[in-house]
Amino acid sequence: MVTEIAEVSGARVSGVLFDVDDTLVDTKGAFRHALAGVARQYLTADAGLAAVALFWRADRHGSYRAHTRGEMDHREQRKRRANDLHAEFGGPLLDDDAYDSWDEVFEQSFQEGWRAHDDAAACLDALDAAGIPYGALSNARFDYQRQKLHAVGLERVPMLVGVDTLGFGKPDPRVFHLAAEKLGLDPGAIAYVGDEYDIDAVAAARAGLKGVWIDRSGDIQSDDANNVAPSVGESEQNPTLRIGSLEALLAAIGASASGAKALVLDEAKNTLK
């Protein structure tokens, strides 16, 4: 059953918080670009780029998640993942000096691959026209994400909280609460949109925000033109909405140049409307 989009009484959403990577920016594409450069220079195994990119994103030892918990710095997590990649696909073991050279190759290609998602600017235009404030919250470094937003033409999105702001990141509720404070709104009045179901949508809902999971995989089945799918909330205490595009977010909150309708939580049906 497709989530009903309607204006009904309830808690209004007065603002929107966005994740950056794979929500506003096509970071998966940028990683593929970076890994293609690494593969040409360092890897010897006969593996396609798709397999290399899938392995990188899987992060089998959870190094990036450990970084977001404040257990290691960014350099250490990326070095560990680089050596995991090399062990899997036939690259040399990287000591500190070798890793620094590796990271220059990776980072240059990564930044060359930064692109905004096609629906990002139009979504921001509609929010601006509707008078709905927004900002960004990320598990990457604050200045780095601000640089990324500027590079892809989304500099109007204010960075509010990065992983280095508090020394840890999502899913800790304090991260969401600080971003809400910086946006100047109560958590319950904010929709948070991110690409990871657990640390984005569910974590935001547990922190008292409206959790919205943007799943760009194309697997959402819906007869709605805006590709809004059923709620995938774990429980009535942690309801979330699954969408396939930022256009669907606009449909959910009724954002347009003429004003915004309400995105409200219907706890009885465990859906966001």
What gap in Å lies between CA 28 and CA 22, rounded to an integer?
7
Who's near 40: CB < 8 A, 6+ residues apart?
Answer: none
Name the domain boundary from 112, 147, 182: 112
On whether residue 77 sits in a domain, the answer given is yes
Q: What angle do CA 213, 214, 216 make, to 5 degrees?
A: 140
102 and 187 housed in the same domain:
no
How confident is the model over 65-77, as pLDDT tens digits? 999 899 999 999 9
- The reported pLDDT for the residue numbered 260 is 39
140 and 21 housed in the same domain:
yes
On whether residue 4 sits in a domain, the answer given is no
90 and 128 housed in the same domain:
no
173 and 268 housed in the same domain:
yes
99 and 127 housed in the same domain:
no
Pairing type for strands 265-266 and 271-272 reads antiparallel
- The reported pLDDT for the residue numbered 263 is 44
55 and 89 housed in the same domain:
yes
Number of domains in the chain: 2
CATH number at residue 159: 3.40.50.1000
What gap in Å lies between CA 115 and CA 91, rounded to an integer?
28
On whether residue 9 sits in a domain, the answer given is no
Intervals of the chain under pLDDT 70: 1-11, 219-239, 256-273
What gap in Å lies between CA 25 and CA 34, rounded to an integer?
15
- The reported pLDDT for the residue numbered 89 is 94
* Alpha helices in the chain, H assignment, sequence order: 27-42, 49-58, 63-68, 74-89, 96-112, 120-130, 142-151, 163-166, 173-183, 203-206, 246-253
- The reported pLDDT for the residue numbered 253 is 82
237 and 153 housed in the same domain:
yes
- The reported pLDDT for the residue numbered 105 is 96
**Domain interval for residue 62:** 27-112
- The reported pLDDT for the residue numbered 217 is 85
Q: Identify the three-state secondary structure at position 194.
A: strand
Name the domain boundary from 83, 112, 141: 112
- The reported pLDDT for the residue numbered 273 is 38
34 and 19 housed in the same domain:
no
How confident is the model over 177-207, as pLDDT tens digits? 999 999 999 999 999 999 999 999 999 999 9
Residue of 91, 68, 64, 92 lying closest to 80 (CA atoms): 64
- The reported pLDDT for the residue numbered 237 is 53
Q: Do residues 211 and 192 lie in contact, with contact meaning Cβ atoms separated by under 8 Å?
A: yes
Reported pTM: 0.81
Name the domain boundary from 112, 129, 162: 112
Q: Identify the three-state secondary structure at position 243.
A: strand
On whether residue 85 sits in a domain, the answer given is yes
What gap in Å lies between CA 19 and CA 58, rounded to an integer?
19
